[in-house]
């Protein structure tokens, strides 16, 4: 019996639910919980009550409430696609109940725009002692990009030295300004300082200050900006031969102009202000007025391109490869009613869950994606909607 409890009911959760529902051989029974149970009921209606057999309201900030739900459902695995603020209470609940755990983004405190793995890595010994596993960052970036790196290191190099992860959304949703996933999380991520690893230490940059125009397969040339992204932290730890590791994401001029205006008038702040007798963070209000990312799928055109440039040594010679995926917004919408950014996060979470449930990736403790053998996961990417390509090329980052 491979019963799973999925916590969260946003755009990514919708993809996870629908992809799991298509695969009863991996997921015999699906239960779904969110703070807003009506969202769960809507998803249940879309896939059928024979696949999503239970829906529940839960406050994922409350570890005791989550633990109570886990005891009621008795799942083999909890798939956390709620907010990053809720990672630790859900992990606490899994620890208390002895159930495996998977998420797609690392923990960050709600009152500080800072994300790092230290809080979750601290659970390593407790999860080991309990005999349960936590798989961290099982989305695309982080997630698939980690597996791409492991695959490159295993099959193409004797030693890897330079890593550049690139994330391009070449699509058009037709909105003046919108984010492709939770606006609060997205804006917190890109307004903090950039950070990259070089020569054994971290270096910081001003937010959105380092630009490089990159040519993305099947998309074209797009301005790409250096950010800090969580997978860099785990990859430089688990691949100590890396001399430099960076992350780049594309943004159009219109998006950045809107963002600068919003930042300039204080709308991206996470510091609560008094408004009509209530405390509210401006960013939370902004989230409420921006388009729901889940609503963007209809009419979304174009493709994403996400991948990893890896440079290293093979048989004494330096070479570079690029492993990447293109994902078409319209194709994703036709399959599961989601845009490609949600799809590229949700499908890897489903695959990671299937790998755990089948025992391909299963050992007690807290692990990142690159710490497991990549081959079966890479095969399942091709099989379940995220085909990848490898090209040997000149590095666009060569200085």
Secondary structure (DSSP) of 289-327: HSPPGGG--TT-BSEEEEEEEEEEEETTEEEEEEEEEEE
Which tens digit of pLDDT belongs to each residue from 90-138? 999 999 999 999 999 998 877 666 778 999 999 999 999 999 999 999 9
Q: Domain for residue 23, yes or no?
A: yes
Residues 194, 267: one domain? yes
Tell me the whole-structure pTM to 2 decimals. Answer: 0.94
Residues 126, 151: one domain? no
Q: What confidence category does residue 154 fall into, taking pLDDT thresholds of 50, 70 and 90?
A: very high
CB-CB contact of 160 with 312 (8 Å): yes
Q: Domain for residue 369, yes or no?
A: no
Preceding amide of 142 cis, omega within 30: yes
Q: Mean pLDDT over residues 140-147, rounded?
A: 97
Nearest to 262 by CA among 290, 292, 296, 291: 290
Residues 255, 205: one domain? yes
Q: What confidence category does residue 10 fall into, taking pLDDT thresholds of 50, 70 and 90?
A: very high
More confident residue, 349 or 296: 349
- Is residue 238 pLDDT above 70, yes or no? yes
- Is residue 1 pLDDT above 70, yes or no? no
Residues 44, 165: one domain? no
Which tens digit of pLDDT belongs to each residue from 365-399? 999 999 999 999 999 999 999 999 999 999 999 87
Domain boundary among 136, 154, 173: 136
CB-CB contact of 270 with 188 (8 Å): yes
Which tens digit of pLDDT belongs to each residue from 12-68? 999 999 999 999 999 999 999 999 999 999 999 999 999 999 999 999 999 999 999
Residues 125, 202: one domain? no
Residue 111, pLDDT score? 66
Residue 192, pLDDT score? 86
Residue 356, pLDDT score? 98
Which tens digit of pLDDT belongs to each residue from 57-71? 999 999 999 999 999
Q: Domain for residue 379, yes or no?
A: no
Q: Domain holding 71: CATH number? A: 3.40.50.720
CB-CB contact of 8 with 26 (8 Å): no
In the sheet where 365-368 sits, what is the strand order?
52-57, 29-34, 3-7, 77-80, 100-103, 133-136, 365-368
More confident residue, 145 or 110: 145
Buried b (16+ CB within 10 A) or exposed e, 189-213: bbbbebbbbeeeeeeeeebbeeeee
The upper half-sphere exposure of residue 357, i.e. CA atoms within 13 Å in the direction of its Cβ, equals 25
Domain boundary among 93, 115, 136: 136
Q: Domain for residue 102, yes or no?
A: yes
Collect all residues with Cβ–Cβ distance below 8 Å to 129 and sequence separation of at least 6: 364
Residues 89, 193: one domain? no
Residue 297, pLDDT score? 66
The pairing of strands 278-280 and 220-227 is unpaired
Which tens digit of pLDDT belongs to each residue from 180-194? 666 677 777 778 899
Q: Domain for residue 149, yes or no?
A: yes
Mean pLDDT rounded to a whole number for the chain:
93
Residues 159, 307: one domain? yes
- Is residue 240 pLDDT above 80, yes or no? yes
Total of domains in the chain: 2
Which tens digit of pLDDT belongs to each residue from 270-296? 788 888 888 888 878 888 877 777 777
Residues 209, 227: one domain? yes
Residue 313, pLDDT score? 98
Residues 131, 236: one domain? no
Q: Domain for residue 97, yes or no?
A: yes
Domain boundary among 106, 136, 166: 136
The alpha carbon torsion through 103, 107, 113, 115 (nearest 10 deg) reads -90
CB-CB contact of 275 with 140 (8 Å): no
Residues 251, 122: one domain? no
Q: Compute CA distances 10 → 15, 176, 248, 261, 295, whole Å.
A: 9, 22, 25, 27, 10
State which residues form the domain around 186: 144-337+387-393
Q: Domain for residue 346, yes or no?
A: no
Q: Domain holding 179: CATH number? A: 3.30.360.10
Residues 125, 183: one domain? no
Q: Domain for residue 221, yes or no?
A: yes
Q: What confidence category does residue 266 fall into, taking pLDDT thresholds of 50, 70 and 90?
A: confident
- Is residue 360 pLDDT above 70, yes or no? yes
- Is residue 144 pLDDT above 90, yes or no? yes
- C-alpha span between 114 and 110 (Å, rounded): 9
Residue 171, pLDDT score? 77
Residues 113, 226: one domain? no
């Amino acid at each position: 019996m491979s019963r799973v409890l999925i916590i969260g009911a946003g755009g990514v959760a919708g993809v996870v639910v629908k992809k799991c529902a298509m695969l009863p051989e991996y997921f015999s029974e699906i239960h779904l919980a969110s703070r807003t149970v009506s969202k769960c009921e809507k998803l249940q209606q879309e896939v059928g009550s024979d696949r999503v057999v239970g829906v529940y309201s839960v406050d994922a900030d409350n570890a005791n409430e989550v633990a109570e739900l886990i005891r009621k459902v008795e799942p083999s695995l909890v798939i956390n696609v709620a907010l990053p603020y809720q990672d630790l209470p859900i992990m606490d609940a899994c620890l208390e109940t002895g159930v495996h755990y998977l998420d797609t983004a690392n923990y960050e405190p709600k009152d500080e725009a800072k994300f790092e793995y230290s809080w979750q890595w601290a659970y390593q010994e407790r999860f080991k002692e309990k005999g349960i596993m936590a798989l961290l960052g099982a989305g695309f970036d982080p997630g698939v990009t980690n597996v791409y790196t492991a695959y490159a290191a295993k099959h193409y190099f004797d030693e890897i030295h330079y890593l550049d992860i690139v994330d391009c959304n070449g699509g058009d949703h037709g909105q003046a300004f919108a984010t492709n996933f939770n606006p609060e999380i997205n804006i917190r991520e890109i307004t903090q300082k950039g950070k990259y690893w070089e020569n054994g230490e971290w270096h910081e940059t001003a937010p959105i200050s380092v630009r490089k125009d990159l040519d993305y397969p099947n998309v074209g040339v797009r301005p790409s900006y250096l950010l800090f992204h969580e997978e860099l932290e785990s990859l430089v730890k688990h691949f100590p031969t890396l001399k430099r590791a960076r992350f780049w994401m594309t943004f159009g001029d219109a998006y950045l102009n809107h963002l600068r205006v919003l930042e300039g008038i204080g709308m991206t702040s996470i510091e609560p202000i008094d408004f009509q007798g209530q405390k509210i963070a401006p960013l939370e209000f902004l989230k409420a007025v921006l388009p729901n990312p889940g609503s963007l799928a209809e009419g979304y055109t174009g493709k994403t391109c996400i991948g990893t440039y890896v440079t290293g040594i093979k048989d004494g010679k330096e070479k570079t490869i690029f492993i990447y995926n293109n994902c078409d917004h319209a194709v994703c919408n036709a399959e599961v009613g989601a845009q490609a950014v949600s799809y590229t996060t949700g499908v890897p979470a489903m695959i990671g869950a299937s790998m755990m449930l089948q025992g391909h990736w299963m050992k007690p403790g807290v692990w990142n994606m690159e710490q497991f053998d990549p081959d079966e996961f890479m095969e399942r990417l091709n099989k379940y909607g995220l085909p990848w390509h490898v090209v040997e090329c000149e590095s666009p980052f060569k200085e």
